[in-house]
Each structure stands twice: as structure tokens, then as C-alpha cells.
Amino acid sequence: MSDQSANAVQRASANSPATDVRVSFKRWLVKTARNPYVTFTSLVQPIIFLVLFVEVFGAVSEGALAEVFAGDINYVTYLTPAIVIMSTLSSAAVSGIGLVDDMEEGMFEKVLVSPMNRSAMFLGKVLSEVARIVVQTTIILVLGYVLLAVKTGDSVDAYLQTGVAGFLGVIGVTVVFGGVFMAYSNIVALVTRDQEATIMLANLLTFPLVFVSSAFLPLEVLPGWIETAAVANPITYGVDSVRAIMLGEDVMTVLDVTAFGGLWNTVVPSIAVLVGCLFVLGGFAVRLLRRAARADVQ
Amino acid sequence: MPGQPSHDGTETELAIDAQDVHVTYADGTTAVRGATLRVERGEFFGFLGPNGAGKTTTIKTLVTLLHPTDGSVRINGYDTVTEPQAVRESIGYMAQETSIDRELSPRENLQLTCELYGVPESEREDRIAELLDLVDLEAVADTRSETFSGGMKKRLDAATVLVHRPPVVFLDEPTTGLDPEARLRLWEYFERINERGTTVFLTTQYLEEADQLCDRLSLLQDGQVIATGGPEQLKSEVGVDVIDLRLADATDEAKQHATQVLQRLDAVGDATVATTTGGVTVRSPAVREAASEVFAALDDAGIAVESFDVRSPTLDDVFLALTEGSTEESPATGVASLGTEVVQ
């Protein structure tokens, strides 16, 4: 090879793919930590929602909860899974903004023209968003328990029936659920190549979808059309699986599955639906990304 | 052996070897139609042309961001289509748009590019310090770059291109939109890296920039290279001299009148007469000898000349002479713009 000869052209040494992932991960983590919007959606917003919803709907929802669940379930315990999923949604749905930003600022091209491994560049970004979701989910779970303890003095066992395994399970569900909406956001970003459109379509989705699901009240007490719409809403599956893990029982009403027993009757079909969505949307997002990074002009 | 691949271990003289490159976009637009460029190691090479001539498409093809539809490109002996990774490892590319991460400080931006290019950790600190010094950003090294002026951002961008000491750097209109002082500082910087042995490929629409910096240059128009050579060589090949005339009455009608008078004048031969902001400019091989006839003709027509300047051609004149008769917009002139408008 010419590299060894005295007159050889000097070349930069390419990193291993793992190093490339780490470089990209670190960059996005720093950017995330510096963004005030992130602090708001990850910390302030969940606190506001959790406290306000509990205060406003807590009293009236007791009847609805008693109607559906045999045991005595506090609304805090019922609502926390919804706040976990909602916050995951808000974080994941803005994933594409960073990508559009990079394209507008020329950083996308700058990385493309460098020796960096392309897949590693995106993997690092995705991992930084996953890290954000993990941290945020942990904070909300702790917050929910603090609120419950203050209101009722209940122990952790009553709050999270499935213990440490359940906690890890909830984290796992939020990561898969987040992946679905990260893919969605990146598809919007790559199709529109526009920051405002990406933000708008993220917001447009977040609110109505959360209400047309089992997030805030059991579907049994909601109008029939919401129950019908909730079947096709990924949020239902995200919320139901987190709720099933926390309550330790089968809570899903949109699909009637009895094959797995207990909480698994909710978790298994829900995760199957979410993983299916992740493969379809994720595959499409990867295809669009590949096309954006390709050098062909014709 | 210029142009030969370096895989057998022989030295490649050419830093850039583009053979008959064509680029057609998916929508059918042909941006480059047959560009051949041969740039030797260590050269400061200019690529000059008006907006829309295909400069950016060409440079993106050279740096592996686009594949040529036809023709081939070798950078440092590596083929851009079959060996893009090797090309990427041996070049630096400064895009037309300033490409820095605004949420990061200059030091962090340089750190990031060091990581992208696998600069050994032990060398990073020294290189970053050296580059911050070179572009004069030490004072703000740890401030987030979103608040910087356009010139500071450009300088930071230029520094990030050099962290891995690439043997060839590509600069796409690096000084567009900068004030004269910022532009001069960047020029100085590019000259310094060229003196250190780096091959520089610079696109520009400023003729003065190319004249000042480049050893050789190619003129691009409509996706085609219309001339290549040293600035002086190109000027002498055009073989014209120039008289700039400033008229006492610089209204459009007076300038038109003067233009007509001079176009009818046999003594200046095959002349190009163009209006400028303050008067007219006459370009002709015979104009130096015919200066007295020019003044006599204007005097006869009752046109008063306030001042005049007989000079050698600039690259501006070269460009006008080469693109004469075409409807293409002429490239913007440099800092000392004449505001020339082609009449004939």
C-alpha cells in the first residue's frame, strides 16, 4: 500500500464503529443536556401533568376505577403509566428536529464527508435519545411514588407490584415505545426537511393520541368511539403494558388475550404490536436516511 | 507519473485528477458537462465562475458527496466512487454554508472533528490550541458559537477542516458574505496552510480573490471549463488593454452616447465597450496606441472626460473577454468592484 511509502498521502485513521457510535452519542448527549426545552419536557411538564391531573381528576375518577378494578387503586398509581408514556412520546417525537437541524447547519454533510461510519452516526444519536428516555422514566416513576406516599402513605409494594423486575420492564417498554415515535419523527423530518413541520407534526400527534387511549381513564367508562379508536392507537399498548407491570395484573381491554396468564396477557400482545410498528416505521426511516446519505445523483 | 493510481506504491503527483466529469441530477438538470481538472500537490488552485456555473456541484463530486454521472475523479490517487473512504480520510472540505455545531463551543467543535477523524488523543490538545491560535479564536474558545459573527463562524469552520492535517483541502466560496477585513484574514490563513504544503482547491466568484491567492485557476461557465492557466498567463492570452474613463456627466444617456461614439471609432479596432458606475470602459488589443483617438472622438462628440486610467487587464476582463456575447451574468468583481455591465 502507498501508505507506507515515504511520499505517501497522509490519511486520517478511521475509528472502529464502536468509537464512532461513542463519538456521536457523546455529541448528542451534550446537545440534549444544553437544550432548555429538554429540561422542560423531561422534568417540568411531567410534574405539572402528574400533580394537576391527580388533583383535578383524582376525586372524580375513583368511581370509574372502582367500577373496573376489583382492588382499591389510587388514581396516582393508575395515572403514572400514562405520564411515563406521554413523556416518552414528547421526547421521541422531537427526534427528527436534531436531524433537520444538522441538515440545515451543514453538520450532516460534514459528517458524511468524514470517514465516520454512517450507521454509527445515527446509532449514537438514537442511543442518546434512549438514554434520555431511561433517565426521564426513572424520574417520573420516583415522582409518582413520592406523590402517592404523600397522599396516602402507601408503600412501594402497593405502587409497583412487580418490584425491580417490573421497574426494568417499564424501562424496556418505554424504550421500544419511544423507538416507534423516534422513527415516525425522523420520517417526517426526512420527508419535509423542515424544522417547523417536524415540530408541528410532533405536537399535532401527541395530544389527541393520548386522549384517544386508555391513558387517563379506563376505556370501559369512555364513549364507544374512543374505545374503537384506541385499538389502533400505539399509545394504548404502551400505557397498558406499563400499567399491567405496575399493577401486576391484566389491564388490557382492546385485545382479548388469555393465553399467557396474568399481566402477560397484556404485556406480550402489546409489545408484539409495538415491535411490529417499530420494524415497519424504523425500516422506512432507515431507508429514507440511506437515500439522504447516498452520493448518487441519478 | 501523473494521474496514475498510487496502489503500486509509486508517487502520485496529482492531488486532484478529474477526467471529463459530467453530473446530471435526478430531475434531468445537467450541472457539470465535461470538467477536466488536474491539480498538482502543493498548488493553490482556483475554480472561478458565476453563480449557477456548477462550482458547488463540481466540488461536491470531488469530495465524494456526489457521484459523477460520467467521467472519473481521483483524489490523492484514490477513486471517489470505488474508494470513497480513502478519499474522505485524505481531504478536508469546507462547504459553502458554514458548517459548525452552534450548540458547541469552538474547542468542542474542534474536539468533535478530531474525534471524527481519529486524531490520536495525545495530539488533540496541541492541535486544537494551534488551530484556535491560527484563526484567532482563543479568547472565545469556550463560548458557545451560536452568538458568533458570520466571520468568526467561518474561521471556526475553516479550522475544523484542518484538524487531521489533510494533504488537500476543498474550500467552497469560503469568503462569500464576509466583510473585507474578515475576508483578508481568511486569505492570510489559506495562504499559510498552503505554504505548509497543503494543496488548496478554492471556488470563488471573486476575481480578485483568485488573482491574489491562486497559482493556477480554471474558469467555469455553464458547467464547462472554458480556460485554465496562471492568472498572468490568462491575462496575457486575452491580449487586451483597458481604458477606464470617468465622465463628467455620468447619466445613463451620456454613458450610452459615449458608448456609441467609441463603438464607431475605427482606431480602437475590435473593442468591447462597457458602461461602469462612473463612465465607460474600453477593452481592445489596440487601445493603448489609440488613446489619443479615443479622447479626440469624445471631445468631438462634446463628451467631457473627468479622469482616465490606462491599465493592464484584470481577471475580470479575462472573464468578460472569454464569455463575450453570452447572456450569462458576469461574476461579481472583488473588493474594488467596477460594477461593470457588458454592453457588447
What is the residue-level pLDDT of chain A in tens, covering all 298 positions? Answer: 434 443 457 788 778 889 999 999 999 999 999 888 887 877 888 889 899 988 888 878 877 887 787 777 888 899 999 999 999 998 998 899 999 999 999 999 999 999 998 889 999 999 999 999 999 999 999 999 999 898 888 788 788 888 899 999 999 999 999 999 999 999 999 999 999 999 888 888 777 889 999 998 888 888 999 999 999 999 999 999 999 999 988 888 888 888 888 889 999 999 999 999 999 999 999 999 989 888 766 5
Average pLDDT in chain B: 84
Q: Is residue B5 situated within a structural domain?
A: no
| B333/B48: higher pLDDT | B48
SS3 B71: strand
The overall longest dimension of chain A from CA atoms, in Å, is 83
Got the DSSP string for A25-72? HHHHHHHHHH-HHHHIIIIIHHHHHHHHHHHHHHHHHHHHHHHH-SS-
Q: Which amino acid, one-letter code, is at A117?
A: N
Confidence category of residue B262, pLDDT binned at 50, 70, 90 = confident
* Last-in-domain residue among B201, B234, B267: B234
Distance to chain A for B195, nearest Cα, Å: 17
CB contact under 8 A, B99 and A109: yes
- Enumerate helices (H) and strands (E) in chain B, giving the number of each: 11, 15
Percent of chain B with pLDDT over 70: 90
Segment B183-190 mean pLDDT: 87
Residue range of the domain that includes B243: 237-342
What's the gap in Å between the CA of B247 and the closest CA on chain A?
A: 47
Look at B6 and A9 and tell me if their CB atoms are within 8 Å. yes
Q: What is the pLDDT of residue B327?
A: 38
In contact, B91 and B169? CB cutoff 8 Å: yes
Is B1 among the domain residues? Answer: no
- pLDDT exceeds 80 at position B268: no
Whether residue B203 is contained in a domain is answered as: yes
Q: What is the CATH classification number for the domain harbouring B290?
A: 3.30.70
Amino acid identity, residue B296? A
Least Cα separation, residue B208 to chain A (angstroms): 27
Least confident of B57-71, B74-88, B264-278: B264-278
Give the pLDDT of residue B234: 82
What is the DSSP code string of B96-125?
Answer: SS----TTS-HHHHHHHHHHHTT--HHHHH
Whether the per-residue pLDDT at B265 is higher than 90: the answer is no
B137 and B37 both lie in a single domain: yes
Q: Over 60: is that where the pLDDT of B326 sits?
A: no
User: Is B66 in the same domain as B183?
Assistant: yes
Q: C-alpha grid cell for residue A22?
A: 461513542
Question: 3-state DSSP call for residue B59?
Answer: helix
| Residue in chain B nearest A22 by alpha carbon | B115
Q: What is the pLDDT of residue A8?
A: 59
Q: What are phi and psi of A76, to 5 degrees?
A: -60, -50
Residues of A in contact with B85 (CB under 8 A): 14, 115
Say yes or no: B215 and B252 in one domain. Answer: no
Question: CA-CA distance, B154 to B137, in Å (whole number)?
Answer: 11
Nearest to B23 among A12, A35, A297 (CB): A297
Provide mean pLDDT across the span B216-226. Answer: 90
Same domain for B266 and B150: no
Q: Please determine, for residue B344, whether its predicted confidence score (pLDDT) is greater than 70.
A: no
Can you read off the three cell numbers belonging to residue A137?
Answer: 422514566
Hey, is the C-beta of B311 within 8 angstroms of any chain A C-beta?
no
Is residue B296 situated within a structural domain?
yes
Contact A107 B7 (CB under 8 A): no
Q: What residue spans define the domains of chain A?
A: 17-293
* Contact with chain A for residue B66, Cβ under 8 A: yes
Query: For residues B206 and B14, which has the higher predicted lDDT (pLDDT)?
Result: B14
Residues B71 and B214 occupy one common structural domain: yes
Q: What angle do CA A150, A156, A162 make, to 5 degrees?
A: 145
Question: Chain B partners of A34 at a C-beta cutoff of 8 Å?
Answer: 103, 144
Residue where one domain finishes, among candidates B234, B264, B286: B234
Q: Taken in order B37, B41, B45, B51, is the CA torsion positive or negative?
A: positive
Interchain pair B7, A111: CB under 8 A: no
Are B335 and B265 found together in one domain? yes
Residue B8 in any domain: the answer is no
- For residues B120 and B197, state if they share a domain: yes
Confidence of residue B312 (pLDDT cuts 50, 70, 90): confident
Clarify whether residues B88 and B211 are in a common domain: yes
pLDDT class of B11 with cuts at 50, 70, 90: low
Chain A CB within 8 Å of residue B166 CB = yes
Instruction: Tell me if B117 and A9 make a contact (CB, 8 A cut-off).
Output: no
B-chain residues near A112 (CB < 8 A):
65
What percent of the residues of chain A are helix, what percent strand, and what percent coil, each to the nearest 5?
A: 75, 0, 25
Asked if residues B50 and B141 have their Cβ atoms less than 8 Å apart, the reply is no
Nearest residue of chain B to residue A26 (CA atoms)? B112
> Which residues of B, range 281-310, sit inside 8 Å of A by Cβ?
none
Residues B270 and B230 grouped into a single domain: no
Q: CA of A296: which chain B residue's CA is closest?
A: B67
Span A55-76, pLDDT tens digits: 888 878 877 887 787 777 888 8
Whether residue B307 is predicted with pLDDT greater than 90 in this model: the reply is no
Q: How far apart are CA B316 and CA B231, in angstroms?
A: 11
Does the pLDDT of residue B259 top 80, yes or no? Answer: yes
The model's confidence at residue B324, banded by pLDDT at 50, 70 and 90, is low
Nearest-CB residue to B69 (from A26, A35, A298):
A298
Q: H or E element: which one contains A279?
A: helix A264-293
Any idea which of A291-295, B76-80, B139-143, B319-323 has the lowest mean pLDDT? Answer: B319-323
User: What ipTM goes with this model?
Assistant: 0.85
Q: pLDDT tier at B1 (50, 70, 90 boundaries)? A: very low
Q: How far is B106 from chain A (nearest CA, A)?
A: 14
- Checking if the pLDDT of B2 tops 50, the result is no
Q: Is residue B44 part of a domain?
A: yes
Answer yes or no: is B180 within a domain: yes
**What confidence tier does B248 reach under pLDDT thresholds 50, 70, 90?**
confident
**CATH code: domain of residue B84:** 3.40.50.300
Give the range among A30-39, A277-286, B2-11, B263-272 with minimum mean pLDDT. B2-11
Chain A CB contacts of B90 below 8 Å: 9-12
User: Both B229 and B246 in a single domain?
Assistant: no
Amino acid at position A28, single letter:
W
Instruction: State the count of interchain CB pairs (< 8 A) between A and B.
Output: 119
For an interface test with B, the pick among A4, A7, A10, A11 (most B C-beta atoms closer than 10 Å) comes out as: A11
Per the structure, the count of domains in chain B is 2
Same domain, B104 and B249: no
Distance from CA of A135 to the nearest CA of B (A): 22
CB B287 within 8 A of CB B246: no
**B88 touching chain A per CB within 8 A:** yes
